[in-house]
C-alpha cells in the first residue's frame, strides 16, 4: 500500500533541510555535571501564576476594551474550576492525613495556606481592575453599569416592574429557623441572604432568609437606554432592592449576595461500576451536593449572618472571600455580544485555502500528500468535511472516531449518525469523564447508540484524550486507511478560539498504528505494539525520556543538541529531571508552556540552558509540538499530539503523539512555527528562577512582535495568493 508522495506538500515553500530553529548553544564535547539539588515550582502556585497572566491581559490598556472584560471573566471562570477541582482535592488530602507529596514537597496544609494568600491578592487586583479601570473606561464608551442606590425615580419604577414580572414569580424565599433546616445550595449558584426584623414584636424578632436565584434568570439586565448610553444593572442589585416584597410586614435590615463553590470532581471506581454511563449520571447528581470549598460573599455582611453561613457550610474563614461585588464576573462575558466592533479585536475569519478545500477530492488529495492545518488560522472545515465525506462515500466501509469534547450541535456526531444509517460500520470512543462535559457526552453517546453506532468508553481507569479519526475505504482490490490526528478537540466552535494543529495522512506507517490503537481500545490487548506512534499509557513516557537521552548523548559527544517543546503544562518530575540532566550536558532547550510549569529554569548547574516562556493572547494556545535535533541520525524528529508532560497524560490517559514524517511539513514546524512563537515579544512572558513571569525583553526602539498576529497575517496572505 505504499504510495507516491507529493513533491510539494501543503504548507511550506522552502526546500531547505529541516534543522534546529533559533540560535543553538553548541554543546561542549564533555560537560561536567555539577551536582545540585533539583528544584521544582509548586503545581498549584504555578497555575495561579498563569491566571495572573490572564488577569494582566484584562489590565492591559492597549487591548480593546470589551476584550479586556472577556479576559476578566475568564480569570473568574478559571478560579471557579481551580477551587472545584484542585483546591477540593488538596482539602481532601489534608483532611485524610494521607497525601502524595507535591512535586516541590509542600504538604497539603501549607499548599492551602499559600494558595489562599495568592488567591486573595489576585481577587483584590481583579476587583480593583473592574471598579477602577474597566467601569470608568466603559462609561466613557457609553456602556454604563448602574448601582441600585444611584437609580432615579423613573429607573426604580422600571426596575420594580421588571422584578414583579420577571423575577418574583420564579424566586422562592427559604426561611432559616428551627423548623426550616439550612437549604442545599447549588454549586456556583447566586443566592441572596436577607436579614429581617419584625418591628411589632418586643423584643424585636430577628429573622434570616435565603433567596436562591435560578440559573434561568439573566445575571446582567439591560436598563432602558439613556440617549446613546447602554446601561446595565446586575440581577443581584435588583433582588436586593426589591427583597422586601417577599416578606410583607417585615423590615429588611440588609441583603447580600453570596455564592458557594463545591467539590466537583468525579470519584468513580470503574472496576466496580457495572454500567459506567449510569454511574457517571449518579455522580453528576452527587456533584451538585459536593462539599463546599469556597464561599464568596459581598462586603458588609453582618458578622452573625457571616458566622451562620460558615457554620452551615462547614467552612473555615480561610476559604471565604469577602468581595467588593458583584459576584461571578464570568457573567460579564455577555458583553461580548454587544454590537460594538470598535471595542473588540478586528474580526478574523479562518482561511479556507488548504488542499482539502474541495470535500469530494479529500481522499484523492491524501493519496498524494500529507496535509497540515494550523487552527484557527486555517479553517476547521476540512476536519468536519473529512468525516462527512466518509459518511457519504459509498467506497468507505468503516469510520472510527474519538470524542472527548465536542460542540452543542456537533456536525461530527451528525456525520457519524449519518454514516451508520448509510450502512457503514461506525465506532465512537466517547469519553464520559471529560471534565464538566460529562452530561453532554452522555447525551451524544445515547444519540449515537440509537443510530446504531458502536459506542465504547476506552480502557478502564484511563480517560480517552487522544484526537483520532480513522476512515477505511475500498480502493481497487484492497482497502486503504485515511487518518486525521490532532492536538485539539473535534469542536468547530473552540477551533475558532484555540490554537491547534491538524494532521491528515494516508501513510501506512501511521494508519496501521492508529488502526492498532482503535483495536486495543475496543477489544483486548495486553501489550499493544506501535511502531511509529507514541501512545500513553504504553510507550509515550519511555519514548520521551529516550528522545531526551539521545540529545544528552549528542551533546556529550560534541554534536549539536537541541529540544523545543510546546505544551499546556509541564509537571512530570521524571521528565523535568531528565531535562535538568540535558541542560547540564549542554543541550539547548526552549519550552513554550502556556500554563503550569514546575521546572525551574536558568539555575546555574541545574538548568542554565533551559528557557521557559508562556504566551497568553487573543487565542488560547493549545497545540502540543515537540522538536528533537537528533544530530547523529542527521534528521530531526518532530512530533505533534494531544499530551502534555504530566503524570495524568503519561499514565492515566489514552494519548497519541505522532511523528510528522513529511519533510516539508516537518520543515515548516521547525523553521516557521517554532521560530515565530519564540520571537513573540507582545504576548509572551518569560519564566525566571524566582517564579516570576516577566515580559520578554525587546531592544530599544524595537516594536512588539505578536506570534498570533503574524500567523493571522500569513493566513490572509496565503488566501490572497490562492495557496
Q: How far apart are CA 34 and CA 36, in angstroms?
A: 6
Q: How many CB atoms lie within 10 A of CB 272?
A: 7
**Alpha helices, H only, 3-107:** 43-59, 65-81, 88-96
What superfamily does domain 359-528 belong to in CATH? Answer: Endonuclease Chain A (3.30.870.10)
Question: Which pLDDT value is given to residue 458?
Answer: 58
Question: Which pLDDT value is given to residue 29?
Answer: 38
Cis peptide before 326 (omega within 30 of 0): yes
Q: How many CB atoms lie within 10 A of CB 199?
A: 10
Q: How does 234-269 read in b/e, with b if 16+ C-beta sit within 10 Å?
A: bbbbbbbbbbebbbeebebeebbbbbbbbbbbeebe
Q: Do domains 359-528 and 535-721 have the same CATH topology?
A: yes
**Domain ranges within the chain, ordered by starting residue:** 65-343, 359-528, 535-721
Question: Which pLDDT value is given to residue 270?
Answer: 42
pLDDT along the chain (723 residues), means of 10: 39 40 43 58 97 98 97 96 92 78 87 95 97 97 94 96 96 86 90 90 81 94 93 96 94 94 65 46 51 93 89 88 92 94 96 93 97 98 97 96 74 93 92 54 75 78 87 93 96 94 97 93 73 94 98 97 98 97 98 98 96 97 97 94 95 94 96 98 97 94 96 94 74
DSSP letter at 87?
I
Number of H helices, E strands in the chain: 20, 27
CA angle 129, 185, 442 (to 5 degrees): 90
**Sheet strands (E) in 117-250:** 143-145, 174-176, 190-198, 205-212, 220-226, 229-234
Question: Which pLDDT value is given to residue 441?
Answer: 58
Q: List all residues 6 or more positions away from 128 whose beta carbon is below 8 Å from its beta carbon.
A: none
Question: Which pLDDT value is given to residue 92?
Answer: 83
- Residue (of 308, 155, 348, 178) closest to 238 by Cα position: 155
What would the grid cell of residue 135 be?
467601569
What's the CATH architecture for 65-343?
Answer: 2-Layer Sandwich (3.30)
Q: How far apart are CA 664 and CA 14, in angstroms?
A: 8
Q: How far apart are CA 516 and CA 713, in angstroms?
A: 40
Cis peptide before 203 (omega within 30 of 0): yes
CATH number belonging to domain 535-721: 3.30.870.10
Question: Which pLDDT value is given to residue 296?
Answer: 96
CA angle 28, 30, 36 (to 5 degrees): 100
- β-pairing, 620-621 vs 498-505, is parallel
Give the Å distances, CA to CA, from 541 to 98, 106, 410, 516, 522. 27, 25, 33, 19, 23
Show which residues are catalytic: 465
Q: How far apart are CA 326 and CA 303, in angstroms?
A: 20
Question: Which pLDDT value is given to residue 408?
Answer: 55
- Coil, strand or helix at 425: strand
**pTM score over 0.85:** yes
Q: How does 508-538 read in b/e, with b if 16+ C-beta sit within 10 Å?
A: eebbbbbbbbbebbeeeeeebebeebbbbbb
Q: How far apart are CA 524 and CA 717, in angstroms?
A: 49
Amino acid at each position: 500500500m505504499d504510495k507516491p508522495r507529493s513533491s510539494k506538500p501543503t504548507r511550506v515553500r522552502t526546500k531547505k533541510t529541516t534543522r534546529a530553529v533559533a540560535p543553538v548553544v553548541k554543546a561542549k564535547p564533555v560537560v561536567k555535571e555539577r551536582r545540585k539539588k533539583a528544584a521544582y515550582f509548586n503545581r498549584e502556585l504555578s497555575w495561579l501564576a498563569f491566571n495572573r497572566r490572564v488577569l494582566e491581559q484584562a489590565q492591559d490598556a492597549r487591548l480593546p476594551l470589551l476584550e479586556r472584560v472577556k479576559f476578566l471573566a475568564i480569570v473568574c471562570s478559571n478560579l471557579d474550576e481551580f477551587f472545584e477541582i484542585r483546591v477540593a482535592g488538596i482539602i481532601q488530602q489534608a483532611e485524610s492525613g494521607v497525601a502524595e507529596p507535591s512535586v516541590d514537597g509542600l504538604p497539603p496544609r501549607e499548599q492551602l495556606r499559600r494558595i489562599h494568600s495568592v488567591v486573595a491578592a489576585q481577587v483584590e487586583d481583579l476587583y480593583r481592575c473592574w471598579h477602577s479601570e474597566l467601569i470608568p473606561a466603559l462609561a466613557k464608551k457609553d456602556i454604563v453599569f448602574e448601582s441600585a442606590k444611584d437609580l432615579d425615580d423613573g429607573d426604580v419604577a422600571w426596575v420594580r416592574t421588571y422584578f414583579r414580572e420577571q423575577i418574583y414569580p420564579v424566586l422562592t424565599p427559604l426561611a432559616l429557623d428551627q423548623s426550616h433546616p439550612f437549604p442545599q445550595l447549588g454549586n456556583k449558584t447566586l443566592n441572596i441572604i436577607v436579614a429581617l426584623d419584625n418591628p411589632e414584636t418586643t423584643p424585636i424578632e430577628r429573622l434570616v432568609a435565603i433567596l436562591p436565584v435560578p440559573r434561568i434568570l439573566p445575571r446582567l439586565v439591560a436598563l432602558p437606554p439613556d440617549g446613546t448610553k447602554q446601561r446595565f444593572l446586575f440581577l443581584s442589585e435588583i433582588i436586593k432592592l426589591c427583597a422586601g416584597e417577599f416578606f410583607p410586614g417585615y423590615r429588611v435590615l440588609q441583603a447580600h449576595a453570596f455564592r458557594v463553590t463545591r467539590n466537583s470532581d468525579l470519584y468513580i471506581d470503574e472496576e466496580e461500576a457495572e454500567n459506567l454511563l449510569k454511574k457517571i449520571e449518579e455522580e453528576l447528581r452527587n456533584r451538585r451536593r459536593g462539599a463546599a470549598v469556597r464561599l464568596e460573599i459581598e462586603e458588609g455582611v453582618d458578622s452573625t449572618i457571616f458566622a451562620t453561613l460558615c457554620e452551615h457550610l462547614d467552612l473555615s474563614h480561610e476559604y471565604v472571600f469577602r468581595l467588593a461585588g458583584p459576584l461571578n464576573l464570568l457573567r460579564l462575558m455577555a458583553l461580548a455580544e454587544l454590537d460594538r466592533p470598535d471595542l473588540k479585536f478586528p474580526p478574523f475569519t479562518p482561511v479556507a485555502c488548504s488542499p482539502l478545500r474541495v470535500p469530494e477530492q479529500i481522499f484523492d488529495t491524501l493519496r498524494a500528500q500529507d496535509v497540515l492545518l494550523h487552527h484557527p488560522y486555517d479553517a476547521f472545515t476540512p476536519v468536519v468535511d473529512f468525516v462527512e465525506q466518509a459518511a457519504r462515500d459509498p467506497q468507505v466501509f468503516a469510520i472510527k472516531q474519538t470524542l472527548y469534547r465536542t460542540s452543542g450541535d456537533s456536525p461530527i456526531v451528525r456525520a457519524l449518525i449519518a454514516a451508520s444509517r448509510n450502512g457503514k460500520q461506525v465506532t465512537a470512543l466517547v469519553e464520559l469523564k471529560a471534565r464538566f462535559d460529562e452530561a453532554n457526552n452522555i447525551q451524544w453517546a445515547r444519540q449515537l447508540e440509537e443510530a446504531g453506532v458502536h459506542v465504547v468508553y476506552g480502557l478502564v481507569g484511563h480517560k480517552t484524550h487522544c484526537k483520532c479519526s480513522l476512515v477505511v475505504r475500498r480502493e481497487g482490490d484492497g482497502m486503504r486507511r485515511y487518518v486525521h490526528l490532532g492536538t485539539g478537540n473535534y469542536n468547530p466552535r473552540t477551533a475558532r478560539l484555540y490554537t491547534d494543529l491538524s494532521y491528515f495522512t494516508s501513510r501506512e506507517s501511521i494508519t496501521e498504528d492508529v488502526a492498532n490503537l482503535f483495536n486495543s481500545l475496543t477489544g483486548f490487548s495486553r501489550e499493544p505494539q506501535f511502531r511509529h506512534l507514541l501512545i500513553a499509557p504504553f510507550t509515550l513516557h519511555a519514548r520521551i525520556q529516550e528522545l531526551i537521552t539521545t540529545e544528552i548523548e549528542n551533546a556529550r559527544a560534541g554534536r549539536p543538541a537541541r529540544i523545543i517543546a510546546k505544551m499546556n503544562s509541564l509537571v512530570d518530575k521524571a521528565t523535568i529531571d531528565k531535562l535538568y540532566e540535558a541542560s547540564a550536558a549542554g543541550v539547548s532547550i526552549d519550552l513554550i508552556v502556556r500554563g503550569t510549569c514546575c521546572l525551574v529554569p536558568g539555575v546555574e548547574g541545574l538548568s542554565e540552558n533551559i528557557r521557559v516562556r508562556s504566551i497568553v493572547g487573543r487565542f488560547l494556545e493549545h497545540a502540543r509540538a515537540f522538536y528533537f535535533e537528533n544530530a547523529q541520525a542527521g534528521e530531526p524528529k518532530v512530533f505533534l499530539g494531544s499530551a502534555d508532560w504530566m503524570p495524568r497524560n503519561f499514565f492515566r490517559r489514552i494519548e497519541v503523539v505522532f511523528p510528522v514524517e513529511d519533510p516539508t511539513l516537518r520543515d515548516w514546524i521547525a523553521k516557521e512555527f517554532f521560530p515565530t512563537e519564540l520571537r513573540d515579544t507582545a504576548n509572551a512572558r518569560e519564566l525566571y528562577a524566582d517564579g516570576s513571569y516577566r515580559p520578554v525583553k525587546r531592544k530599544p526602539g524595537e516594536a512588539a512582535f505578536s506570534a498570533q498576529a503574524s500567523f493571522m497575517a500569513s493566513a490572509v496572505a496565503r488566501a490572497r495568493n490562492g495557496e
